[in-house]
Amino acid sequence: MLTTNYLDGSPSWIELSTSDIDGAMEFYGRVLGWESESAGPDTGGYRMLRSDGAVVGGAGPLMADDQPVAWEIYFTTPDVRTTVRRAQELGASVYVEPMDVMGLGHMAYLADPQGGGFSLWEPASFPGMERTDVPGSLMWTELWTPSAQGAKDFYGTLFGWEFNDMSMGDGAVYSTVRPHDTGEERYFGGVMNVDPADLPATEGAADWHPVFHVTDCDRAASAVTDGGGQVYMGPEDATGVGRIAVCADPYSAGFVLLTPDPG
């Protein structure tokens, strides 16, 4: 599970880059109950996202014409520059070199060898999200990739992630992920092999996306469509997981809604 005790290699922040920051804030307020506030006058319109007063992520306008609308997941590292160099050696591309973020920490933005974008966060005064794994917050992360084995080789070497493979039938395998040398209670995400033709939003490249905890998946999915977003799959029951819906906001950023099974 996700916690705010951020270990090396674990998700510590999520960030929405969008073409319409005001419209996106209205949409997620409707779907997830979030409130947003300015991160300050010198942040280029960046917003902090809150659920019941706790910071659960950030959002900002696109900073370049070729920047995709997307949710980005940040993974904790004790040394962002060393991790970037190691990622490049493993075949990653670097889109944003390590940079200081107002003394809060240092970040970098990369893509794995299958094209999946992700960010690194070396915390200073700001460790990350104040709340996870409760309604209105991030509870899981998921990578859809054209090469699950390639992704596991890359992230396993870069972060020391450990994987547990589970059969989904018809030859499909879902691999859950946890930080190195932790127990089963620290699984925070999954990796799944997906045909590139089923990844049109990224033109066949890998895609990291957040899974948000909601108390009523059906109601939240209805709010998605009422707010101009799309529901691509569900809501439907996933055995041993909960009720789930795969969605996108009105500006094409993908995410998943999940009401977990009790217990």
> Is residue 143 domain-shared with residue 249, that is, in the same domain?
yes
Residue 185 has pLDDT above 90, yes or no: no
Tens digits of per-residue pLDDT, 3-47? 556 778 899 999 999 999 999 999 999 999 999 999 888 888 999
Residue 1 has pLDDT above 70, yes or no: no
> Is residue 185 domain-shared with residue 247, that is, in the same domain?
yes
Answer yes or no: is 1 within a domain.
no
Q: Helices 217-226 and 21-32, interaxial angle, to 10°?
A: 150
> Is residue 103 domain-shared with residue 147, that is, in the same domain?
no
Tens digits of per-residue pLDDT, 212-234? 999 999 999 999 999 999 999 98
Does 16 or 172 have the greater pLDDT score? Answer: 16
Q: What global pTM score does this model have?
A: 0.94
Answer yes or no: is 130 within a domain.
no
Residue 263 has pLDDT above 80, yes or no: no
Answer yes or no: is 236 within a domain.
yes
DSSP character string of 232-257? EEEEEEETTTEEEEEEE-TTS-EEEE
Answer yes or no: is 133 within a domain.
no
Among 100, 123, 146, which residue terminates a domain? 123
> Is residue 117 domain-shared with residue 150, that is, in the same domain?
no
| CATH number of domain containing 98 | 3.10.180.10
Q: How far apart are CA 169 and CA 115, in angstroms?
A: 27
Nearest residue to 139 (alpha-carbon basis) of 212, 72, 192, 191: 212
By residue count, the chain amounts to: 263
**Residue 107 has what pLDDT?**
96
User: Looking at the 3D structure of the chain, how many domains does it have?
Assistant: 2
Tens digits of per-residue pLDDT, 90-110? 999 999 999 999 999 999 999
> Is residue 175 domain-shared with residue 236, that is, in the same domain?
yes
Grade residue 183 by pLDDT with cuts at 50, 70 and 90: confident
Answer yes or no: is 2 within a domain.
no
What helix, strand, coil percent values describe the chain, rounded to 5? 20, 45, 35
What's the domain range around 81?
A: 11-123
Structure tokens at 121: 């966060």
Where helices occur in 6-165 by DSSP H, the ranges are: 21-32, 80-89, 148-159
